[in-house]
Each structure stands twice: as C-alpha cells, then as structure tokens.
Amino acid sequence: MDAKGRWVVLDTTQDGMSLLAVGGENHPGISPRNWLDERTRTVLLDKLRTVLTSGQAYEGIVRYGASEFAVVANPVASPDGKQVVGAYGVFEHLGRPLPTAPLLGTWQWRVHKQTGKNVGEDSSLWDANLFKIYGIDPATVESKRGPAGEWLAKLISTKDRDTIKLVIDSGISVNNRSRHLLSYEIVYGYGSPNPGKKQIAMSARAYDDPEYPEAIMLRGFSREVDSPTKVVTPGLSPVSAGLVAEALFALAADRAFAAIDMQQEVTFRTSNRWSDFGLLPDFEGNLAALAHPEDKFGFERHLAEASAGRVGPESSTRVRLRTTADRWQEFAVAVAPIGTDGGHSRYLMLSLVPVGKGS
C-alpha cells in the first residue's frame, strides 16, 4: 500500500506497532510492514518506529532513489507525557502541500485491579485534543481531569453504552496487557444547545503503575471515523450486551417484546412473556399474519409508518393477534426503530401489552 500524501496512524502493541489508518482508510491493527509498500516503509515507517521509541517528533527530508520527500512523524503521548501510545506521520514530494493532520486525543485512567474503581487524585486525564473530539470546553469540567464520571453515562450514545461498559469491565478484570480496539458513537457537544453525534475509534492498553501497585493504568487514544471500525478485544469474554436486553425484558412483566425485520417480513426475536400471553412460541414469521383480518391493514400501515420514521413509540396502535388457543387477544402495540439508515429503519422493536382477556 502506497501511503504517499496520506497520514499514517499507528498504535503500540505488546509485539511492537500496528496500522490503524492510512488517510481515510481504517485498518484493524494490521502489520504495517506487511501492508505498506517498500517506499512507504523506507521513507516513513522507519521514522515512525523511531518516534515510538524516542517520543521525539521528526521533521526533515528523506531521499528514496532519485527523489526527495518531506517527512513528518509525530508521537501520540499520554496526557501525563509518560507513555507513547502511538505515532502518526506523512510524506510527500518536496514543495507539495501536506494534508491536514488527523486529530488524535489521548486519555489515561487509573483503576483498581480488583474493584475497577478510580485510584488517586489524578485517576483520569484527558488531553486538549480529546476535549475537541468530544466537543467539550475544558473550562466547563469541574477539574482538569477528563469527565470520567460522565464519559460512559452521558457521552457515549445509548445504543453502544452497554457494549462498551461490559468490554471495559472485562478488560479491567482480565488485565492481559493486550491492545484493544473499540468503536462507538458519542454525543458531540454534550450540554450544548445543539449536540450532535460522532463515530469514534479507540485504541487502548493496560500498563503497570509503579506508584500504585494495586492499580493498572489504562492508556490510549481516540479519533473520529466515518463509520464503525472493527472491534478487536483479544482474550476478553465480556457479558453480552444481549443479556442486558434479556434482563430488561424479564423486568417488563406486563408486556411482551418482539423484534422484526421489515424487509424480510420475519420476527427474529421474542421475549419470554411472548408465549405467556398465549402467542405462538418461537414464532419466526410475519407478525402481521397473526393479526385479525379487520386489524391487519391498519397494523401493517402503522409498522410501515414507524419504519419510515413518521411515528414513534409514543404513538401506539391496537391489534388483535391469534393465540395458540385459536382465540383473538387484543394488544396495545408501541414500535421503536432499531437503528436507522437515511431516516428509514429496517428493524423494529415492538412492545405488546395485552388489553382485556381476549375472545
């Protein structure tokens, strides 16, 4: 791969370094030596390797064959400056402009090995770039530390919060020193009048902290990406985020849940209460096919409106569904999208609350 004129982003692993990005192309921590072409390896990669070791930036001219290239290579240092967690660099023919450098924000978090609780007054630190990535003014944070307490609860979008929480907890528990790659959606500009959303890719590792032997120091860096990148968590066995949903379903004793695929017209998940309300166990067909003939058209229309984003979960509808006893049970049905693509949702989650005793 020829990286001329494109910023190359590397992180560190137990075995050395790995490739995360070349310009706008993201990579899941692959070997830079195997993927970058000879010119890129000679002109840029050797400089980046030196930067990872020394922590000193490089800016100069490197000759390759009959050509000369301007080379820039920078370290990615932890907020306290004690650890180089990555490097990024670019090379281009002399006289040609260099592209804008990627914004890489670093963080560190010291936690107890057993409890996972913060350790020390400086347990969490963010650098200035990370505040920019999240769209947060450091002056609005109570201390110079990053908003560690708010990071998971407020700054990560709800759709990714369970998964990230469980992976982080597993990483602290296993503490295998491996490099882990995560990707998740954040709330950009939290607390501002017009917050938005961004997709983030993060590289993280655990390090020993000599000053706190009972703790580990998690260090890494984050960057904005156009779409979710591959998650790599070697050696971790986090509780599945799906079990979080199962627990929520179990607590909702007054209703059943069903997840449907509007494109394939199938039901691919139902909660335990589904069969308790007399509906066909392990049902995988078109949910509208269970509807009473007089209700079917209106029910299908409501699902289509929800899929198109024209009605939300606050707008419920009523439908009679056929039970295993060959009777009709009326349900109040609310619908919520499971992800969207251009305002349209292929997958829907339905909440079904029985009305009356059926007929």
The mean pLDDT value of the chain amounts to 89
Is 60 exceeded by the pLDDT of residue 48? yes
Split at pLDDT 50, 70, 90, the class of 62 is: very high
Top mean-pLDDT range of 67-81, 135-149, 158-172, 278-292: 67-81
C-alpha–C-alpha distance, residues 197 and 193, integer Å: 13
| pLDDT tens-digit map of 258-269 | 989 998 888 988
Is 60 exceeded by the pLDDT of residue 146? no
Is 90 exceeded by the pLDDT of residue 357? no
Going 97 to 131 to 187 to 271, the CA torsion angle's sign is positive
Residues 245-267, mean pLDDT to the nearest whole number: 83
DSSP per position, 90-154: EEEETTSPPPPPP-EEEEEEEEETTT--B-STT-EEE-HHHHHHHT--GGGSSSSS--HHHIIII
Q: Which residue has the tokens 């609350």?
A: 353
The pLDDT value given to residue 252 = 81
Split at pLDDT 50, 70, 90, the class of 141 is: confident
Task: Centre a 10 Å sphere on the Cβ of residue 212 and count the other Cβ atoms it contains.
Answer: 16
The pLDDT value given to residue 263 = 86
Q: Which of 7-11, 73-77, 222-226, 314-318 has the lowest mean pLDDT?
A: 314-318
| pLDDT tens-digit map of 13-27 | 888 899 999 999 999
Q: Which of 112-126, 192-206, 284-298 has the lowest mean pLDDT?
A: 112-126
The pLDDT value given to residue 14 = 82
Is the model more confident about 45 or about 192?
45
Strands (DSSP E) along the chain, which ranges?
8-13, 16-22, 25-30, 58-64, 67-77, 84-93, 104-112, 124-126, 180-188, 196-208, 215-225, 256-261, 266-270, 317-322, 328-337, 347-355
φ/ψ bin of 134: left (φ > 0), alpha (ψ from -120 to 50), beta (otherwise): alpha
Percent of the chain with pLDDT over 90: 60
Is 90 exceeded by the pLDDT of residue 132? yes
The pLDDT value given to residue 243 = 63
C-alpha–C-alpha distance, residues 128 and 141, integer Å: 12
Q: Which of 24-38, 188-202, 228-242, 340-354 has the lowest mean pLDDT?
A: 228-242
Mapped onto helix, strand or coil, the DSSP state of residue 241 is: helix
Is 80 exceeded by the pLDDT of residue 152? no
Split at pLDDT 50, 70, 90, the class of 191 is: confident
Split at pLDDT 50, 70, 90, the class of 242 is: low
Vertex 84 angle, CA 98 and 174, to 5°: 125
The pLDDT value given to residue 359 = 59
Is the model more confident about 343 or about 309?
309
Top mean-pLDDT range of 144-153, 160-169, 269-278: 269-278
| pLDDT tens-digit map of 76-121 | 999 999 999 999 999 999 999 999 999 999 999 998 888 878 888 8
Is 60 exceeded by the pLDDT of residue 238? no
Domains and CATH numbers, the chain: 1-102 (3.30.450.20), 104-239 (3.30.450.20), 243-355 (3.30.450.20)
Q: Which of 244, 211, 116 is nearest to 173 (CA)?
A: 116
